[in-house]
Amino acid sequence: MSKSSVIYGVNPVKESLLADRPVSKVYLLQNRRDQAIDTVRRLAKRREITILNATREKLDRMANTTKHQGMVAFLRAAPQHDLETLLAKSKSAIPFLFLLDGIEDPRNLGAIIRTVDAAGGDGVIIPARRATGLTATVAKTSAGALAHLPVVQVGNLSPVIERLKKEGYWVVGLDVAGKRSYADYDFTGPVAIVLGGEGLGIRKKVLEKCDETVSLPMRGKVQSLNVAVAVGIVAYEVLRQRAL
């Protein structure tokens, strides 16, 4: 993880242990015994990871929040997912990826990672600059999905889009200016779906690289959706089409 080696909360800690992420230590709330604590303790012992008891105040300081659910874990530095590895793993099936152009809210990114993982997506690609990184808040909001779904940080999305096209992907931008409804697009082939950040949307240079632009029908007074909600709608449309 970038910017932070701390994860906290029941699902992020448990899933990190199950996914064999490089956890170095687990701190558990002292004098507390419940199913969640016992499960994490058992998983950590199985992997011979150091388990330490801590007061609630110490956990608050380590997590920088009171919403740690009685557990905090630390990760050792580990190689990040890279584009080559992601593409190699994705070739075993009909892949679909999400490219996120400038998501700034870590809670949105965490929710997107959780949704893409639930829908069977192969990964998420994000820029390393002008966007949130993989912070502890992202891990917590993803409810453990970050431990399983590859998230690749790149310097620039435009050359990545060109590379994906060479690999046989169709690159589809989801933008309010799209003339075609997302429901009318054929998502049954290899596809990379691009969404923009909160407020600004997809940058012009990135949008111009897309093979096609589609939109979500908007019937109400507000002409935009939260980006995490938009990802969920499109991800499950991909899943629906491929299940037919």
174 and 67, same domain (yes or no): no
Q: What is the reported pLDDT for 143?
A: 87
Residue at a domain's end among 58, 75, 92: 75
Q: For 46, left (φ over 0), alpha (ψ -120 to 50), or beta?
A: alpha
70 and 104, same domain (yes or no): no
Q: What is the overall mean pLDDT for the chain?
A: 90
Q: What is the pLDDT of residues 180-221, one digit of tens each?
A: 999 999 999 999 999 998 878 899 999 999 999 999 988 877
99 and 36, same domain (yes or no): no
What angle is formed at CA 170 by the lines to CA 167 and CA 173, rounded to 5 degrees?
A: 130
Q: What is the reported pLDDT for 244?
A: 63
Across residues 67-82, what is the average pLDDT?
82
Q: What is the pLDDT of residues 9-62, one digit of tens each?
A: 999 999 999 988 888 899 999 988 899 999 999 999 999 899 999 999 999 999
Instruction: Please answer whether residues 83 and 124 qualify as being in contact, where contact means their C-beta atoms are separated by less than 8 angstroms.
Output: no
- CA distances to 85, 119, 212 from 176, in Å: 32, 23, 13
Across residues 165-183, what is the average pLDDT?
94
1 belongs to a structural domain: no
66 and 87, same domain (yes or no): no
- Number of structural domains in the chain: 2
Which residues on neighbouring strands pair with residue 126, listed in sequence order? Answer: 153
Q: What is the spatial distance between Cα 15 and Cα 198, in angstroms, rounded to a whole number? A: 28
65 and 16, same domain (yes or no): yes
Q: What is the spatial distance between Cα 187 and Cα 240, in angstroms, rounded to a whole number? A: 9
Q: 199 versus 80: which is more confidently predicted?
A: 199
Q: What is the reported pLDDT for 223?
A: 66
27 and 96, same domain (yes or no): no
64 belongs to a structural domain: yes
Range of the domain at 118: 83-243
Q: What is the pLDDT of residues 138-148, one digit of tens each?
A: 888 998 899 88
Tell how strand 151-154 and strand 71-75 pair up: unpaired
Q: What is the spatial distance between Cα 107 and Cα 67, in angstroms, rounded to a whole number? A: 14
